Amino acid sequence: MESSIIMGTSTRTLEVQEKQLWLGSNAISKRFERERKTLLKNNVFFTKHHQQQQRALCMAFKPAFAQPQAPIAPSYGDPMLANYVPVYVMLPLGVISNDNVLQDREGLKNKLRMLRAAGVDGVMVDVWWGIVEAKGPQNYDWSAYRDLFQLVQECRLKLQCIMSFHQCGGNVGDSVVIPLPQWILQIGHSNPDIFYTSRSGYRHKECLSLGIDNMPLFHGRTAIQMYGDYMRSFRVNMEDFLVSELIIDIEVGLGPAGELRYPSYSESMGWEFPGIGEFQCYDKYLEADFKEFSARQNHPEWTLPTNAGGYNDTPESTGFFRSNGGTFGTDEGKHFLAWYSTKLLIHGDQVMDQANQVFLGCKVKLAAKVAGIHWWYNTQSHAAELTAGYYNLYGRDGYRPISKMLSRHNAILNFTCLEMRNREQIAEALCAPQELVKQVLSGAWKENIEVAGENALPRYDCDAYNQILLNSRPNGINRNGPTLRLYGVTYLRLCNELMQRTNFDIFKTFVRKMHADMGYCPNPEQYSHYTVPLQRSDTNVPVSVFLERTIAEAPYNWSEETDMSVHASGLLGYLLAIILCIFKRGWK
């Protein structure tokens, strides 16, 4: 399917070797950097000549060795830092108001200082499309975000920025409403098919349908071009924060809640947990695409599903998802699910490619978020995952193709629900968050990409923190660095409840345990987090290469529990932490 679309894969950065190669090619890089800055000052972006120069420079960064199974331990400093997992905290959704003003600057400053004193490495912020480009097409106002970024810099924290091309409001945990730009909504008023649409005709105004990614419906621009222009303006206007390496990650919004998925389970549409959700492909653009695809496959009679139920149905109550003879297992069902999931994969690849072109040469990591849809995981159909666009079944891995796609952009996969345990879920929903996390993280690591994670819901208890710790280092700490280690964890979210004394004391212990009892480390290179100029995505690989990764494999083994528990507290807990740290240092 879609074999004419050219894509690519990339080899994961070997950070230590790459650092050495970067130092060896410093003269070339400096020359390129001077030319790049000259272009930026004149609002000119890379010509073909400069792209060729950058590609040539990137060739020098290609690692000469295969990816090792374990991170390479630092060659200096304390070797226990190889177990260090940085912790970031999400800022409030409405930290910048709808009228583009930084809210409660002094109060936020005090909280940021408390986070810094607790050892937190940085913060994450949504950079809302609906705020920055609210006044009209390509009329960007970054003033409030510059004020915020300056404050974060003053507090000596790092910054993860989300390019939020979605609405805030309508999803679990949304406490404020920040719509898409009004001029986008006006276009949608006259052409509602720019939005995702359910079979019953409900329009989801959370984000634009991927069906119009490449259609010039927005004053001559396509959706992909709008996303690219927004990120390009961000780069130009935040150049000083990029050069200073305040900004370390750019998480690219790919759908509702910023996640690479369809808006299949929106609370604004009446969905309640654990409903299976609904397919979102009934706008005229996706309907036409499916019709054309079916004709090419010699099945023009096949249509979009009509028996997949409603938002709050169970799998067994529908003809499509039921375990005995459900449509999902028929040729027609497989045909639809392959199309539905592949369209999502192509969408993610195109937007990530735009981000790669925009931030080429910047010392940042790109990232993409994947949703942790754990309900109905222990059923044959995995209904809630299928409606979201994750074609994941027993024997078929729906997540590893996403990891393969991200590998071509050398991007981080950011996964949610790290805090959840099976026994905490309602039995009738047949949830399995622990197995889901193992599957997704293992598949990403096997594709040699970095993996980060988040908690899906606010939690302040030791059990949740311990589960995050376990998933951050699935086999525990090791003197030479763990075989498996998350690149970072972002905690949801900064709020008054987190800052309450008891909750914050537990949180501080959690941060220390994430740092392997080493305390805050201001230099990421000491825990093998080297940041090098972003390379151009690899090219000339069709989508079929991504889909080759659908064969399910057993995940890596996980320990039963973390070896860095936050349960112990007070003086006894402190003494036990010291003893454990000394014991670990003595490992051979």
Q: Is residue 33 part of a domain?
A: no
* Spatial CB neighbours of 135, under 8 Å, sequence gap ≥ 6: 141
What is d(CA 203, CA 192) in angstroms, rounded to the nearest whole number? Answer: 7
Q: What is the pLDDT of residue 575?
A: 58
Distances (CA, A) of 278 to 168, 316, 329, 456: 20, 15, 18, 21
Q: Which tens digit of pLDDT belongs to each residue from 158-208? A: 999 999 999 998 677 667 999 999 999 999 999 999 999 999 999 999 999
Whose tokens are 């959700």? That residue is: 277
Q: Is residue 296 part of a domain?
A: no
Q: Is residue 297 part of a domain?
A: no
Q: What is the pLDDT of residue 50?
A: 40
Q: What is the pLDDT of residue 14?
A: 29
- In contact, 364 and 421? CB cutoff 8 Å: no
What is d(CA 294, CA 72) in angstroms, rounded to the nearest whole number? Answer: 48
Q: Does residue 454 have an active-site annotation?
A: yes
Distances (CA, A) of 345 to 72, 193, 255, 390: 32, 21, 12, 9
The DSSP H or E segment spanning 582 is: helix 570-585
Annotated binding site: 126, 166, 174, 369, 374, 416, 455-456, 493
Q: Is residue 313 part of a domain?
A: no
Q: What is the pLDDT of residue 574?
A: 53
What is d(CA 154, CA 306) in angstroms, rounded to the nearest whole number? Answer: 55
Compute the C-alpha angle 257/421/71, nearest 5°: 80
- In contact, 541 and 445? CB cutoff 8 Å: no
Return the DSSP state at 538: P
Distances (CA, A) of 262 to 62, 258, 550: 35, 11, 19
Catalytic residue, chosen from 15, 447, 450, 454, is 454
Across the chain, which distance is largest between two alpha carbons, in Å? Answer: 72
Catalytic residue, chosen from 15, 133, 259, 447, is 259
Domain holding 153, by residue range, is 6-25+60-269+344-585
Annotated binding site for substrate: 126, 166, 174, 369, 374, 416, 455-456, 493
Q: Is residue 46 part of a domain?
A: no
Q: Is residue 334 part of a domain?
A: no
- The shares of helix, strand and coil residues in the chain, as percent rounded to the nearest 5, are 45, 10, 45
Q: Is residue 215 part of a domain?
A: yes
Q: Is residue 188 part of a domain?
A: yes
Instruction: Supply the CATH number for residue 449's domain.
Output: 3.20.20.80
- In contact, 8 and 542? CB cutoff 8 Å: no
Looking at the structure of the chain, the number of domains it has is 1
Mean pLDDT by groups of 10 residues along the chain of 588 residues: 34 32 37 44 41 38 34 53 97 97 98 99 99 98 99 99 94 83 98 98 97 99 99 99 98 98 95 98 99 98 98 99 98 99 98 98 98 99 99 98 97 98 98 99 98 98 98 94 96 98 98 96 93 90 90 97 81 54 45
Q: Does residue 259 have an active-site annotation?
A: yes
The structure's pTM equals 0.85
